[in-house]
Amino acid sequence: MSLELSPQRLAGMIDHTFLKPYGTPDDITALCDEARRYGFAMVAVNPAEVEHCARLLAGSPVRVGAAVGFPLGQNTAAVKAYEIRDALARGAAEIDMVINIRALQAGEAALVRAEIADLAAACRQAGAISKVILETCYLTDAQKDLVCQMALAEGADFVKTSTGFGPAGATVEDVRRMRQVVGPQMGVKAAGGIRTLAAAQAMIAAGATRIGTSAGVAIMQELAQLAAQGGTRL
């Protein structure tokens, strides 16, 4: 597969991420400054940071994304519904929601589908982007397929591999599988452990249309070095 990977194209696929439970306001300021400078798709933050980021990025094309039910997905559906709408009201333009993994494993697919349906509907009404986080390292292939099928049926915008907080993150195999299930209609976000240009390239080649990473700046610097040497294709 050969794709032109310009700095603008790659930056527009990166969700620049700061989801640590610790840090200072300066960390968030730096995150937003970097996202604006490089032209990243969005900043991915915890809900408590949404308003701050929205102020910092006002007038910028960079979107603010909130992680909901994060990172375990074990909130009740009612709590997730409130968290989604609260984040949207505070300025989030994208929502990345962790499904109830244990419910899925227990065979309660209807509960998970209802969560996804609510996420998609709330984001659609607000003009926001909805992303469904599978946490693939905990799921069987059949469960991964089922979540992707439900997300597609309910009109979610993306399926996403991982939170980055599990024991394993994105794999090329999972990205390829998710792309095969959802087809061209949906976005596929690879996240978790993507820290190098080569890793990002592999995920894009497998079908990812977004890359969630806290190493976005380092990846862009790698690409700039590659471009200086005359190579930007994957």
Task: Indicate which residue of 96, 118, 157, 174 is catalytic.
Answer: 96
Residues with Cβ < 8 Å from 3, sequence gap 6 or more?
204, 205, 233, 234
Residues with Cβ < 8 Å from 230, sequence gap 6 or more?
none
Contact yes or no for 66/46 (Cβ under 8 A): yes
Residues with Cβ < 8 Å from 22, sequence gap 6 or more?
none
Q: Which H/E stretch holds residue 65? A: strand 63-68
Is 160 annotated as catalytic? Answer: yes
Q: How far is CA 135 from the centre of its chain?
A: 11
Q: Report the C-alpha gap between 56 and 90 in whole angstroms.
A: 13
Contact yes or no for 41/12 (Cβ under 8 A): yes
Task: Indicate which residue of 144, 157, 160, 174 is catalytic.
Answer: 160
Is 144 annotated as catalytic? Answer: no
Q: Report the C-alpha gap between 27 and 13 in whole angstroms.
A: 22
Kind of pairing, strands 94-98 and 210-213? unpaired
Q: Report the candidate in 123, 163, 122 with the shortest Cα–Cα distance to residue 139.
A: 163
Is 131 annotated as catalytic? Answer: no
Query: What is the token pair recorded at 82?
Result: 């409130």
- Give me the active site residues, please: 96, 160, 189
